[in-house]
Structure 1
Amino acid sequence: MQHSLKIILGGCLLAAGSAAAFAGDATNLPPAPSWAEANKHVTYDEFMQAAKESFPYATPEQFKLRVENDLTLKTCNESMDQPNAQQAAAILEFEKKRLVFPADGKLLGDWKKGEEIAKSTTGDRIGFADADDPSHPNGSNCFACHVMIPGQPGGNMGPSLVDYGKRGQSPAILKYTYEHVYDAKALVPCTIMPRYGGEGHLLTAEQVADIVAFLTDPQSPVNQPEAKH
């Protein structure tokens, strides 16, 4: 439909502008439009209608729970991911309340389990004809958005996490890393990084702690030199 195409084209414009900027001399290129500028002609109602049509197999209850009743998603959608100071503060307060920590208080789990979770692509997807089997264990598919292990492929939607362990394993670093994986929106309103922890989401608190270990443990492949062949 027309407004769905507008949203897609807006994203393509942003991607094309970014690609051109890295392709060579960008001094004569006009700046890429912001998301809000590229989609200022798309109303919130049109956006929501397009979102519903993108998940044709989702039940009304699923969509309402995941989107319409979610303060953060509603605010970010309405503001085109540009919340004002008051909205951002409300999001942070809302998301902070979602944070749950492991029952034993340990934020550092097993990095080998964390690697398995990070590489697994199984997840609780809704609204698709080929939605994942809920009986299969969930993963986080971290490599879709991040390069994590030197010399191995990964996505570029998020920053490279290679050598993340150089930050150390102080209590402050472990807490920051845990919260960012569990619910990045509790730190950065409207970030594109999904919420991974919590009821109705992919991972348990203990599994998030395993990913923290995968990122920070000196023995983890994240923090090893690239293998020579």
Structure 2
Amino acid sequence: MTTNLRNAVLVAGAIAAVAGCAGTGSSPEQSAAWDREAQEVMARSFRDQGIATVDRLKQDEVMAACSTHGQHIDDELRERIQAAAQADIKWPSDGNYLGDWKEGEKLAQSGRGMTWSDKADAPNGGNCYNCHRITKKEISYGTIGPSLYQYGKLHGNTETTQKYVWGKIWNPNAYTACTNMPRFGAHGILDEKQIRHLVALLLDPKSPVNAE
């Protein structure tokens, strides 16, 4: 995930930690007071700088629900989140899911973007290696998400798989509510062309993802 997203996770974690403490035998009034205090701490601790503005602290409905419930959401809420996310997916305008895997590899290895020192029109990276293993040659990679090595060999390169990978990158909550994976397309982190390149990285037989 990009730097701003890591910061958002830390912020959400701090708020959730306070809310969690509030949930252990405390009254609703005390819980509300702790929630207000957490929000005030966040407001005092951050300021606008460059393109990084404090409006990033505002949680949308999904973020708020996931901060409160985590992976312990009930089936009704899970289905509602996933259905809304599925409806939110913007499919490729020309119907083509695959781009250039070489460009996708550059994106996957780039963690740049959306920090106070970046320009608003500068392209963001996907920072995929920070959560996933991507290629055989990598010796340093994150394990928050599953390994993506040999993804195309394991899942094939059918239109159904291409559509799934596209949707997963665009808004992963469509398939797993409250996942740790960023909503790259829905939040405008990556554009349609970039997502197309990442789909190719995962599925193109010539990609290093699918190398022996």
Partner of 1:145: 131
Residues 113-167 of structure 1: per-residue CA shift (max 9 Å, x gap): 1111111111224xxxx45332321111101111101021211111111111111
Match of 1:105 among 68, 72, 95: 95
Paired position in structure 2 for 1:132: 118
Partner letter of residue 127 of structure 2? N
Higher RCO (Cα < 8 Å, 6 or more apart): 2
Match of 1:219 among 203, 206, 210: 206
**Residues 48, 37 of structure 1: alpha-carbon distance in 2 compared, 3 angstrom cutoff:** closer
On the 8 A contact 1:123/1:132 being kept in 2, the answer is yes
The number of residues matched between the two structures is 186
CA distance in 2, matches of 1:157, 1:115: 19
Q: Paired residue for 2:175?
A: 187
In the other structure, the counterpart of 1:29 is none
> In 1, are the aligned partners of 2:85 and 2:171 still within 8 Å (CA)?
yes
Q: Distance in 2 between matches of 1:192 and 1:47?
A: 22
Gaps of 5+ in 2: 1-9
1:75-119 per-residue CA deviation (whole Å, 9 max, x = no partner) reads: 111223421112112211221222001111011111111111111
Question: Does 1:82 find its partner at 2:72?
Answer: yes
2:177 alignment partner AA: P
**Partner AA of 1:83 in structure 2:** I
Name 1:197's counterpart in structure 2.
185
Cα separation, 2, equivalents of 1:54 and 1:94: 32
Alignment RMSD (CA, Å): 2.8
Distance 1:62 1:217, change over 3 A: same
Distance of 2:201 and 2:181 partners within structure 1 = 18
What's the offset of the Cα at 1:169? Answer: 0.5
Query: How far apart are residue 195 of structure 1 and its match?
Result: 0.4
* Cα distance in 2 for residues equivalent to 1:131 and 1:52: 21
Contact 2:172 2:182 in 1 (8 A): yes
| In 2: Cα distance, 1:148 partner to 1:177 partner | 14
Gaps of 5+ in 1: 12-35
Show the counterpart of 1:72: 62
CA distance in 1, matches of 2:181, 2:22: 21
**Aligned CA distance change for structure 1 residues 84 and 108 (closer, same or farther; 3 Å):** same
SS at match of 1:97: helix
Larger helix fraction of residues: 2
Note the C-alpha offset of 1:215. 0.5
User: Quick one: which of 128, 141, 145 aligns to 1:154?
Assistant: 141
Alpha-carbon spacing, 1:52–1:140, altered in 2? closer, same or farther (3 Å): farther
Give me the whole-angstrom Cα distance separating, in 2, the residues matched to 1:39 and 1:107.
Answer: 46
State the TM-score, normalized to the length of structure 1: 0.70
Residues 60 and 165 of structure 1: is their aligned pair in 2 closer, same or farther, counting only changes over 3 Å?
A: closer
Q: What is residue 6 of structure 2 aligned with on the other side?
A: none
Q: How does 1:15-26 map to 2 (within 5 A)?
A: none
Tell me if structure 1 keeps the 8 A contact 2:47–2:54.
no
TM-score by length of 2: 0.76
Q: Does 1:207 align with 2:201?
A: no
3-state secondary structure, aligned to 2:88 = coil
Equivalent residues of 1:121, 1:139 under 8 A apart: yes
